[in-house]
């Protein structure tokens, strides 16, 4: 590898490559996730929410292995990629019409959807069933919000997904240099889904 390379959106130096290779030799029992988390901690590689970017780090390690620069430990579990596009399990939910003025639904709550929670299953099912584009899975970092009316019934879903790392028409329109894109991309979202559930009918507010 040259003195520095940009892999997975990160500038990787020759010294850092040696660091990875040394960790693999010194800790042969570490699995890939453990190695990625250790590297994120040493490099200070975190997202804006302060969470380690371990998925990006694992992708970086796989690319280094594909280049013949290191050999990763065998997977401890089979890849789950084949399950990523499966149909969401059906979740019972009320579909009685909610027609009327907005005031009848207030207060409306907008709450984040925790990963692996029952709300996450409901969110996935509602988007897959009722959004005109459907929904299969999320790639990269994302934020999900479930909107409920005053009695707790879901009325809307909001999904903010990660932007593509490189998109020449977008980058050219904005005027981004590669360096500017690396700095500013975390501020950009893409692959959004906004859904007002079909049984909700609220007239536009008059000014």
Higher pLDDT, 5 or 50: 50
Specify whether the CB–CB gap between 155 and 197 falls below 8 A: yes
pLDDT(62) > 70:
yes
pLDDT(136) > 80:
no
Residues 119, 83: Cα–Cα separation, whole Å: 19
Higher pLDDT, 43 or 81: 43
Which tokens sit at 95? Answer: 């579909």
Residues linked to residue 189 through DSSP beta bridges, in sequence order:
162
Q: What 3-state class would DSSP assign to 30?
A: coil
Higher pLDDT, 179 or 205: 179
- How crowded is residue 126: how many other Cβ atoms within 10 Å of its Cβ? 20
Which DSSP category does 125 fall into?
A: H
Look at residue 78 in the predicted model and tell me its pLDDT.
Answer: 55
pLDDT band at 82 (very low <50, low <70, confident <90, very high): very low
Q: Write the CB contacts of 16 (distance below 8 Å, at least 6 apart in sequence).
A: 43
Which residue is listed with tokens 């380690």?
A: 52
Cα distance between the two ends of the chain:
62
Percent of the chain with pLDDT over 90: 34
Tell me which of 12-26, 54-68, 80-94, 144-158 is least confident: 80-94
Look at residue 175 in the predicted model and tell me its pLDDT.
Answer: 87
């Amino acid at each position: 590898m040259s003195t520095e390379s940009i892999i997975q959106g990160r500038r990787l130096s020759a010294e850092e490559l040696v660091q990875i290779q040394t960790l693999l030799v010194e800790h042969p029992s570490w699995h890939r996730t453990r190695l990625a988390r250790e590297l994120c901690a040493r490099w200070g590689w975190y997202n804006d929410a302060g969470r380690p970017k371990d998925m990006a780090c694992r992708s970086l390690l796989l690319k280094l292995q594909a280049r013949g620069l290191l050999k990763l430990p065998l997977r401890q579990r089979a890849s789950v990629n084949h399950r990523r596009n499966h149909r969401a399990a059906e979740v019972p939910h009320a579909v009685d019409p909610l027609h009327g003025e907005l005031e009848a639904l207030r207060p409306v709550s907008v709450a984040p959807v925790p990963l692996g929670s029952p709300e996450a299953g409901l969110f996935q099912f509602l988007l897959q069933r009722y959004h005109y584009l459907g929904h299969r899975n999320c790639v990269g970092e994302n934020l999900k919000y479930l909107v409920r009316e005053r009695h707790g019934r879901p009325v809307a879903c909001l999904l903010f997904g990660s932007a593509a790392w490189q998109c020449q028409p977008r980058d050219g329109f904005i005027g981004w240099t590669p360096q500017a894109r690396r700095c500013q991309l975390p501020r950009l979202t893409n692959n959004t889904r906004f859904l007002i559930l079909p049984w909700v009918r609220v007239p536009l507010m008059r000014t």
